[in-house]
Structure 1
Amino acid sequence: MNTLRPGFGVPDIMALRAEALSRQTALREVRSASVAQPRDASAAPAAGFAATLDNAMQQVSAVQNRSSELQVAYERGEVTDIAQVMIARQEAGIAFEAALQTRNKLLSAYQDIMRMGG
């Protein structure tokens, strides 16, 4: 997929860089979460699912809090790297979008299960 076009400038390159870094970070978080969660066959599936979902929501909240803190620090002049702030905002956006998509899938699955019971 070639996204380069005539007139492709520095802002476009920075946007692509930010997107690539945010995707890499999101993949790293998913990978570390799957490695950190050992598979225990004796654990109750419902408790494991609830704990995993709660952990994921806490991670989303932490990413959003970090983004807000960096933005406030930039506004105060404590952080001068705008790229770092923008990457944090992108990470927060991606984390929120992933949580929203997960919620939508869970809601759809729940509705499908409820339709089966009748």
Structure 2
Amino acid sequence: MSAVRPTSGVQDIMALRQEVLARSKALQDVRAASEAGTVPATADPTGGFADTLGDALKQVSAVQQRSGEMQAAYERGEVTDIAQVMLARQEAGVAFEATLQVRNKLLSAYQEIMRMGG
């Protein structure tokens, strides 16, 4: 039985999630340092967080579109391998769930930043 390997789209989402977690940790460190009265030196951002997020969302959209196309092709009788169709649907589902988790983390970080400002 072969293991199903994640696709590059899912890997990109997971990498984005790791980046969000790292930035969240950096914000917590800054907050802890500011409460202690010191502010650590910050490194230049590697840039492009919005671009990275946009690219990841485009990839998730492409995975979902591919899944929809495969399902439609199966319904038309063009694709006969139901396993491929189901795998594409599962891949799209996992990518969507990962996107939701990243969105939740970003929302949580935004809310924490707003609380810190007051």
Decide: shared fold, TM above 0.5.
Answer: yes
Scaled by the length of structure 1, the TM-score of the pair is: 0.67
Residue correspondences, number: 89
Scaled by the length of structure 2, the TM-score of the pair is: 0.67
Q: Which stretches in structure 2 are left out of the alignment for 5+ residues?
A: 16-42
Which letter does structure 2 place at the counterpart of 1:25?
P
Q: Does residue 76 of structure 2 align to residue 95 of structure 1? A: no
Q: Percent identity?
A: 66
Alignment partners' CA distance in 2, 1:102 and 1:88: 21
Pairing 1:45-64 to 2, within 5 Å after superposition: 45=47, 48-64=48-64
Which letter does structure 2 place at the counterpart of 1:87?
L
1:42 is displaced (CA, Å) by 7.1
Q: Which has the higher contact order (CA 8 A, sep 6+)?
A: 2
Q: Which stretches in structure 1 are left out of the alignment for 5+ residues?
A: 1-12, 35-40
Please identify runs of 4+ aligned residues in structure 1 that moved more than 3 A. Answer: 41-44
Across the aligned residues of Structure 1 and Structure 2, the Cα RMSD in angstroms comes to: 2.5
Alignment partners' CA distance in 1, 2:63 and 2:116: 37
* Deviation digits for residues 14-60 of structure 1 (CA, Å, limit 9, x no counterpart): xxx7xx52xx224x4426x96xxxxxx97763xx0000000000000
